[in-house]
Amino acid sequence: MNKLKILLVIACALLIIPNVFCLSIIDAQNIARDYTLDNEFIDSRVFQVSCDDVDLTIISVVNSNNELIFFVPIDNDKQIYSQENNLDDLFKTSYLLKEITKQSSNNYLTITIIDAFDQLITILSSKRSQLQGIINADYSKNITDATKITKESVGELIDLLETLRESVNNARVTQQNFVDSPTCAQTNNVVSSLRDGFEGYNNLTLYGLNYQTSINNITEAIVSDSEVDENTKMIISGYISAPPNLSKDISNIQERLSSTNFFYSEIINNFLKIGENNSAIVAKNNFLSRQDYVQVVDLLYTYDSDLKNTLDNIVLGILDDNRYPYWKDKTTLSNLERNYQEIQNLLNRKRYSETIQKIKLLKSQAIKLEKEGFVDMSDVKQSYDYYVVVSVLILIVILFVVIKPKKKNKTKTKVLKKNKKDVLETFNKKDPFK
């Protein structure tokens, strides 16, 4: 009975654990969605990465072409990981992990290619043993010398295959360990293994050709040797002949290595680029910018319990034409208006990091204004009456200054005209010719 209970507990645990794991992935994806905009999507592939002893869930945000925009790293407490001094390593590790695990028909870094190496090495090693037997048989000097050269050639080919097999397998194992348990500390070692793991593969065809050529030299030596009977020549020829599918096997391995090397070269070259040319660094900068954007939206457009509204709504209310003239603190009001305009300008230019402190200042300005309140309405009425009286007085003065002088000018003109007539009359009276 006890054993049955234990089995039931284990079975329940096996059912519950995957559900808990799936829930954590769903939670992480939901958190990451807060960082997405229109035409941005959450990649279905989720990675678990350990960086500086912190376990993180890495969510990829991609565009409609499935191209990486940025990663969202989330810790086990469902908090965004934002240790900027570690973000370079984290994003490079995440980028490497994402790229090398992509499904590609060009990537043959599997146990299959290692098996191909092993099979060809075994076949060639057998041929090398047969060549050593011919040398030990002590046929004519020409045959022996030609066989030694062929043995050296096949030995060089075997050495190259074994070297390649070791480096390729090392790259495979290193990558697999990294994929199974990715950490930031492994990244540089993985990059080195993948960068150097295929070095020398393009020499395979040349070494295979040298081996084939050396076999032809033995054949010539056998045919021209009159001391060896025809039956022995046939036996020797059978031993020295190359494996029937050698060229095809070598070509197959080399083509797979070439394709795989190309696949990883693009990843490694991008990984090793500096600054804005590095896709991982671009992704990191995009993430930091988006993080600032999310904070700006939260500060400006999300309900604020201190304000009982969103900050943006509060500011727009303060600046409303029907309320604007009546705020008591005119200096703070002017500063708030100017600050709000600067914030809008920075948002239009997507300079979010510069906006955050200004938004925090904007909130304090809004709180200060609302605390000071409006001017007293009786003071407003007195000020209004005062301005009415002053305006009337100014109008009277203007009328007095403008209209009254015009009447004086007309009188003066008449006087001048009259005086001029009198002068002329006086002059005429004195004219002796009249």
Over the stretch 245-263, which tens digit does the pLDDT of each residue have? 999 999 999 999 999 999 9
Nearest to 73 by CA among 302, 89, 176, 268: 89
Are residues 243 and 317 part of one domain?
no
**Mean pLDDT confidence for 192-197:** 96
Q: Is the pLDDT of residue 405 over 80?
A: no
Look at residues 343, 372, 401 and tell me which one is the last residue of a structural domain.
Answer: 372
Q: Are residues 245 and 346 in the same domain?
A: no
Confidence of residue 8 (pLDDT cuts 50, 70, 90): low
Residue 202 lies in a domain: yes
Note whether 260 and 133 are same-domain residues: yes
- What single-letter amino acid sits at 300? L
The mean pLDDT value of the chain amounts to 85
DSSP characters over 343-400: HHHHHHTT-HHHHHHHHHHHHHHHHHHHHH-BPPHHHHHHHHHHHHHHHHHHHHHHHH
416 and 322 assigned to the same domain: no
Share of the chain above pLDDT 90, in %: 67
Instruction: Clarify whether residues 269 and 188 are in a common domain.
Output: yes
pTM, whole model, 2 decimals?
0.74
Domains in the chain: how many in total? Answer: 3
Q: Report yes or no on 281 lying in a domain.
A: no
Instruction: Please indicate, yes or no, if residue 257 is contained in any of the structural domains.
Output: yes
Give the DSSP H/E element, type plus range, for residue 55.
strand 54-63
pLDDT digit string, tens, across residues 112-154: 999 999 999 999 999 999 999 989 988 888 888 889 999 999 9
* Arithmetic mean of pLDDT, 414-432: 40
- Choice between 378 and 155, residue whose per-residue pLDDT is larger: 155
pLDDT at 398: 78
In a domain, residue 71? The reply is no
- Residue 55 belongs to a domain: no
Q: Which domain holds residue 434?
A: 388-434
How far lies 256's CA from each of 73, 107, 161, 259, in Å?
35, 8, 14, 5
Domain for residue 28, yes or no?
A: no
CATH number of the domain at 174, please.
1.20.58
Asked if residue 1 belongs to a domain, the reply is: no
Last residue of a domain, one of 339, 372, 405: 372
- The pLDDT score that the predictor gives to residue 420 is 37
- Among 58, 39, 52, 117, smallest CA distance to 86 is for 52
User: CA geometry: angle at 95 spanning 24 and 269, to 5°?
Assistant: 170
217 close to 223: Cβ distance less than 8 angstroms: no
Take residue 227 and report the two structure tokens written for it. Answer: 């001391």
The answer to whether 328 and 375 have CB atoms below 8 angstroms apart is yes
Q: Would residue 290 count as lying in a domain?
A: no
| Pairwise CA distance, residues 58 & 182, whole Å | 11
Is the separation of the CB atoms in 297 and 304 below 8 Å? no
